[in-house]
Chain A
Amino acid sequence: MRDIISIKNLSFKYDKTSIFDKFNLNIKRGSVTTILGANGSGKTTLLKLILGIYEFDGEIYIDNILLSKKTKKDIRKKIGVVFDKPENSFVSDIVIDDIVFSLENLNYSKEEIEDRINEISKLLNIDKLLYKRVNELSGGEKQLVAIASALSHNPEILIFDEAFSMLDLYTKEKIFEVIKDLHKKTNITIINITHSSNDCLYGDTIIVLDEGRLILKGDTKRVLEEEKMFEKLGLELPFMASLSIKLKYYGLVDEIILDMDEMVNKLWK
């Protein structure tokens, strides 16, 4: 099947309040998807449901396996998650020990651990960080190590939960480059959960959630044209999308252009 995640008729109540009511969603294998929504839209609840943390009505399939109490552990192995505050998930002082720890927990042999660490450190270009102390790392470096840990057990899906909100713009753009490169090399499915449209410039699909409902799902540029909907949901459009929409109105461009160089060259040919 082409879908790596398939959610059918998902209903979930929290404290008698219905968060999801017959919710459906499919995510394609190898895609890069942003799940966008304001605080309280149900994004993080959805993540917890996918990870099997809450019980629910309906069906969630991950890599064609129906999520249940029995399959929860196997499904968990298919997913790696990176959170907003990486230091909360570090268990060791030294970077490499942290990655080794998660692999040992999954009963990897010594040789396998060595191979896996070599592989990941090449993939993310972090060999210089491996023997550093965790508290010596900058915010961006910590997030790279968190990505390395999330990738350690070779998951099919990598999920970022507000993982970039703590980073300054410069670091954020550097990390985006690393993730893009990772996706190119491995074709891993990437899901980016965020409340900031500035964090979804990267990715092919955007899913917009509001109060547990799927408001819109589509190609990134298509979704970013929905200026009115963004306004209604209290979300801001990224600068380049706003600029494109206004320039389009004056007939100076004919589509959303997210790359600044491309825009400048298009305007001044």
Chain B
Amino acid sequence: MEIRFNNVSYEYKGIKKSEKKAIDNISLEIKKNKINCIIGPSGSGKTTLMELVNALLIPTDGKINVGKFVIDKNKKNINVKELRFNVGLIFEFPEQQFFKSTVKKEIEFGLKQYEYKLKNIDKRISDSLLMVGLNDSFLNRNPFTLSNGEMRKVAIASVLALNPKVIIFDEPTVGLDDASKNNLLKILRMLKTRYKKTIIVVTHDVDALHKIADHIFVLNDGKVILEGDKYEVFKEVDLLQNYKIKVPKIIEFSHKVFKSKNIKMGYRDEINDLIKDIYRHVK
């Protein structure tokens, strides 16, 4: 599903800060079937951008193409319910919105909003649980007795059950321990490769992002200041630092060696490759 922003601006009304546009004349294209990550300091417009894709907010200027849908000031053009059926949004701490007594009822709740479209609800529920690595034994469990990692997975499953083409995650790793976090990153990769989803992740967790991002947009003051794959983006250590964005530690290290010792280490993803480089230079 194609997602394109054409000169999009968004201004919050009635707030003191509104002299500044939350999104300021952005044109960009979300890469299809890829993991797109959005980073930026707080207040840079990340969340606004995300909510525009899902038509939770309507641009004050410009237009957004999401597949066959056009989102612009003239919002009569879109069937919001159908759009959101195609574009799933998973909020920060989604498990805090649980209110049903079993996992099955929790996932069913979302599906029922679209019942007119759906058959085989039970199968959809089982399949979506399987996609996040949980089996049917979870169906009748009380979601509130699950571990943090499991709760997060159920929340994701409840969006996957609708089978959206695009899934937006807001800070998906927050509050998870390292094991659950790595598990979640695996799920994101699988949604992309096996299920061909387009993924948009808004995050401040640069180490997680470094492991999964195909394309990164860096936002500041409502504008895209940098965009590209992780190599293109994270080589700009000093520029990012100016915008109060830290690069992953492994890159910070190579950069430090270059800055203080004038030794070029190259871009390393894996700590073992970095060690080989260090060994070669030091010995």
Contacts and interface: CB of A to CB of B under 8 A. Distances in A.
Interface stretch (B127-135, B158-166, B272-280): B272-280
Interface residues of A, number: 40
B264 interface: no
Contacts of A264: 253, 256-257, 260-261
Contact of B42 (A138, A197, A252): A138
A267 B278 contact: yes
Contact of A39 (B41, B42, B177): B177
A263 B275 CA distance: 13
Interface string B172-216: 001111111010000000000000000000001011000000000
B21 interface: no
Interface string A19-54: 000000000000000000011100000000000000
A218 interface: no
A261 B42 CA distance: 28
Interface string B15-28: 01100000000000
Given A173-B246, A235-B179, A268-B261, A166 B256 contact: no
Nearest to B241: A170
Given A84-B175, A239-B253, A252-B282, 14 more contacts: A38-B180, A39-B148, A39-B149, A138-B41, A167-B204, A168-B204, A168-B245, A170-B245, A195-B176, A234-B178, A235-B177, A236-B178, A242-B271, A264-B253
Q: Which bracket fits the contact residues of B?
A: 35 or more
A40 B174 contact: no
Contacts of B76: none
Contacts of B41: 138, 168, 170
A243 B271 contact: yes
Interface of B: 16-17, 41-43, 147-149, 174-180, 182, 204, 206-207, 244-246, 248-250, 252-253, 256-257, 260-261, 263, 271-272, 274-275, 278-279, 281-282
A169 B246 CA distance: 6
A162 B175 contact: yes
A170 B246 contact: yes
Most B CB atoms within 10 A — which of A39, A195, A234, A264? A39
A134 to B, nearest CB: 14
Nearest to B283: A252
B282 A246 contact: no
With a 10 A CB-CB cut-off, give which of A84, A170, A198 has the most chain B CB atoms: A170
A242 B272 CA distance: 10
Contacts of B249: 238-240, 260
Contacts of A138: 41-43
